[in-house]
């Protein structure tokens, strides 16, 4: 967690706006689940994905553990069992219920988890009312961390749920979504000169600890595609035999493809009578060839790029290109819930929203990085191996939660996120 951001914004620690923001974020999480049955909320389709109910509870546990237990006078755990059940991976706090079994917890039920949320909400409100000046900064910083944490889980709640519903052969919709008819803009290339760039958190607003410290990187000249690769373009790769030519793939990628019998992006369905279809949060739909391709693993993204004679950008190249660009797009607030084509603006398009873009950079500490102090130091740093960085947010990333320096990260085989790619190239 990065707290120096608040030194420039002392008014941020005033209780009222904090309370307002807290309410907004918390309410959004519940709105995302209000159409779901108790059974829907308890589904867990793989160890990496958690039930919606668990997300509802865990985000509350975060506030309870790092704020109420620390700063609320005489606070006692709402339920000691929750401290075990809803601790994700904080060994500094205590042991955790086995991740792969989160779907086996029917009790507490959905209603009990909502009651837990109410209890934590009330506790936070009291805490904000009694903010002593000495703790104001610390508490405001942790609260902001908790809210960003909850926003991350809003996205995961939707992608985890999508993965679970996918296992139902009836392909049920999370929510009805409308038709999309936009056409992809022609692909353009933008060139960037060599030089020393600065990447990482610039000190304005919130950032996670993994975005710090801001530092210099030397870049060779590079080019970047104006928009992500589309479903239609990816289909060409498939039809050209991309999934059967090992020379296009990283060695680990080819092994993964063979072991998992991967022949299509996740959620694609090839139906004899219906043609290409795609499972979306709105149910099964005809594949939109104009929309950015999503649900690719890093392995598929690199195989496509190799086939196209290009490469993925590095994190620094992507971030340097994104600095100064408007941070908007098809994010969660548009409620589209799926990537879609966008008109060209003449510059870099769709950097934010639609799909997370795989970079060729492994998720490593920035020079001089040190994790936040205390148990929240486990938030990011301990995952800095075996993962690749993704940039830009997706159609289910909450608005306000994304920025050029934001570092998302997943193992190269992961594809249940809305993960796609944008091509890059060298300039000789």
Site residues (CB under 8 A) for a copy of itself?
Answer: 37-43, 45, 53, 81, 84-85, 89, 91-92, 97, 101, 103-107, 109-110, 164-165, 167-170, 172, 196, 215-220, 246-247, 249-254, 298-299, 302, 311, 314, 360-362, 364-365, 367-368, 378, 382-386, 388, 412, 426
| Closest distance to a copy of itself from the beta carbon of 361 (Å) | 7
Identity of the residue, 69 or 215, whose beta carbon is nearer to a copy of itself in the bound complex: 215
| Closest distance to a copy of itself from the beta carbon of 230 (Å) | 25
Identity of the residue, 289 or 378, whose beta carbon is nearer to a copy of itself in the bound complex: 378
| Closest distance to a copy of itself from the beta carbon of 282 (Å) | 15
| Closest distance to a copy of itself from the beta carbon of 179 (Å) | 23
Residue 371 CA from chain centroid, whole number = 20
Identity of the residue, 234 or 366, whose beta carbon is nearer to a copy of itself in the bound complex: 366
Residues 6 or more apart in contact with residue 227 via CB below 8 angstroms: 184, 185, 187, 292, 342, 344, 349, 350, 422
SS in 3 state form for the chain?
Answer: CCCHHHHHCHHHHCHHHHHHHHHHHHHHHHHHHCCCCHHHHCCCCCCCCCCHHHHHHHHHHHHHHHHHHHHCCCCCCCCHHHHHHCCCCCCCCCCCCCHHHHHHCCCCCHHHHHHHHHHHHHHHHHHHHCCCHHHHHHHHHHHHHHHHHHHHHHHHHHHHHHHHHHCCCCCCCCCCCCCCCCCCCCCCEEEECCEEEEECCCCCCCCCHHHCCCEEEEECCEEEECCCCEHHHHHHHHHCCHHHCHHHCCHHHHHHHHHCCCCCCCCEEEECCCEEEEEECCEEEECCCCCECCCCCHHHHHHHHHHCCCECCCHHHHHHHHCCCCCCCECHHHCCCCCCCCCCCCCCCCCCECCEEEEEEECCCCCCCCCCCCHHHHCCHHHCCCCEEEECCCCCCCCCCCCCCCCEEECCCCCCCCEECCCEEECC
| Closest distance to a copy of itself from the beta carbon of 40 (Å) | 4
Identity of the residue, 91 or 270, whose beta carbon is nearer to a copy of itself in the bound complex: 91
The CA distance from 207 to 402, in Å, is 10
Identity of the residue, 154 or 361, whose beta carbon is nearer to a copy of itself in the bound complex: 361
Identity of the residue, 205 or 213, whose beta carbon is nearer to a copy of itself in the bound complex: 213
| Closest distance to a copy of itself from the beta carbon of 306 (Å) | 9
| Closest distance to a copy of itself from the beta carbon of 63 (Å) | 22
| Closest distance to a copy of itself from the beta carbon of 382 (Å) | 4
Identity of the residue, 196 or 272, whose beta carbon is nearer to a copy of itself in the bound complex: 196
Identity of the residue, 21 or 175, whose beta carbon is nearer to a copy of itself in the bound complex: 175
| Closest distance to a copy of itself from the beta carbon of 393 (Å) | 23
Identity of the residue, 104 or 182, whose beta carbon is nearer to a copy of itself in the bound complex: 104
């Amino acid at each position: 967690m990065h707290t120096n951001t608040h030194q420039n914004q002392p008014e941020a620690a005033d209780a009222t706006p904090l309370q307002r923001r807290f309410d907004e974020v918390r309410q959004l999480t519940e709105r995302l689940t209000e159409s779901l049955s108790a059974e829907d909320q308890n589904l867990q389709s793989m160890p990496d994905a958690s039930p919606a109910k668990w997300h509802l509870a865990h985000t509350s546990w975060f506030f309870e553990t790092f704020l109420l237990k620390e700063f609320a006078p005489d606070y006692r755990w709402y339920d000691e069992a929750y401290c075990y059940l809803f601790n994700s991976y904080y060994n500094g706090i205590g042991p955790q219920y086995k991740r792969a079994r989160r779907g086996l917890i029917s009790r507490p039920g959905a209603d009990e988890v909502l009651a837990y949320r109410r209890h934590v909400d009330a506790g936070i409100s009291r805490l904000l009312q009694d903010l002593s000046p000495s703790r104001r900064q610390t508490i405001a910083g942790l609260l902001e961390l908790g809210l960003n944490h909850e926003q991350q889980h809003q996205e995961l709640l939707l992608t985890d749920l999508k993965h679970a519903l996918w296992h139902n052969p009836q392909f049920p919709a999370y929510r009805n979504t409308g038709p999309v008819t936009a056409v992809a803009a022609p692909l353009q290339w933008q060139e960037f000169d060599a030089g020393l760039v600065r990447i990482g958190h610039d000190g304005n607003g919130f950032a996670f600890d993994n975005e710090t410290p801001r530092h210099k990187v030397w870049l060779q000249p590079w080019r970047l595609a104006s928009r992500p690769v589309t479903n239609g373009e990816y289909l060409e790769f498939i039809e050209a035999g991309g999934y059967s030519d090992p020379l296009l793939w990283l060695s680990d990628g080819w092994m993964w493809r063979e072991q998992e019998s991967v022949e299509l992006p996740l959620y694609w369905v090839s139906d004899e009578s219906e043609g290409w279809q795609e499972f979306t949060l709105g149910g099964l739909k005809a594949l939109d060839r104009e929309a950015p391709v999503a649900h690719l693993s890093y392995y598929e993204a690199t195989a496509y790029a190799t086939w196209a004679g290009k490469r993925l950008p590095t994190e620094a190249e992507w971030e340097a290109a994104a600095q100064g660009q408007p941070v908007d797009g098809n994010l969660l607030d548009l409620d589209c819930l799926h990537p879609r084509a966008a008109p060209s603006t003449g510059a870099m398009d769709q950097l934010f929203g639609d799909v997370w873009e795989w970079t060729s950079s492994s998720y490593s500490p920035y020079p001089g990085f040190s994790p936040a102090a205390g148990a929240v130091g486990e938030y990011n740093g301990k995952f800095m191996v075996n993962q690749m960085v993704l940039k830009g947010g997706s159609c289910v990333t909450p608005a306000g939660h994304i920025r050029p320096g934001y570092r998302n990260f997943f193992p190269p085989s992961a594809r249940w996120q809305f993960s796609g790619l944008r091509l890059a190239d060298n300039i000789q």
